[in-house]
Amino acid sequence: MSTILLIVHLLIALALVGVILLQRSEGGALGIGGGGMGGLMSGRSSANLLTRVTAILAASFITTSLVLAILASQQSAPRSILDQPTAPAPAPEPAAPTTPRAPVAE
C-alpha cells in the first residue's frame, strides 16, 4: 500500500514541477517563460487551466504527503538494538589477591 502511494506521490511531484514550468513567467527573471504555447490556447484560458491544475496537484501532493507520514508512523518497524533497554552486565568477581614474590635469579 505504501509503495503504491509513494509512486503516486512521486508522479504527482513530477507533474507539479512540469505544470509549474509551463506557466508564464511574469517577472521575466530568466526570460524563458510563456512563449511556447503560441496558438494552442489564448493567454487567459491557459493561465486559468494551469492555475487550476496546479492547485489540484498541490492539494493532492499535500494529501499524499500526510497519508505517507501517517502510514510511516504506524508501521511497526524493528527497533534498533541500541533502543532496547538492557540489564547492566554483572560485575566480575574480584580475583583473590596473590602474594608478591621476589624475583628469582637464574
pLDDT class of 12 with cuts at 50, 70, 90: very high
pLDDT given for residue 13 in this prediction: 97
pLDDT at 47: 73
Identify whether 90 is part of a domain.
no
Confirm whether 30 is domain-assigned.
Answer: no
The answer to whether residue 56 sits within a structural domain is: yes
What pTM does this model have? 0.57
69 assigned to some structural domain: yes
Q: Residue 60 domain-assigned?
A: yes
Instruction: For residue 26, count CB atoms less than 10 angstroms from its CB and return exposed for 0-12, middle for 13-18, buried for 19 or more.
Output: exposed
Which pLDDT score is estimated for 55? Answer: 95
The answer to whether position 36 is within a domain reads: no
With respect to residue 97, please indicate whether it lies within any of the assigned structural domains: no
Q: Which domain holds residue 8?
A: 2-23+43-74
Band of pLDDT at residue 87, cut at 50, 70 and 90: confident
| Domains identified in the chain, total number | 1
Taking Cα atoms as reference points, which of 52, 83, 51, 68 lies closest to residue 10? Answer: 68
| pLDDT (0 to 100) of residue 41 | 54
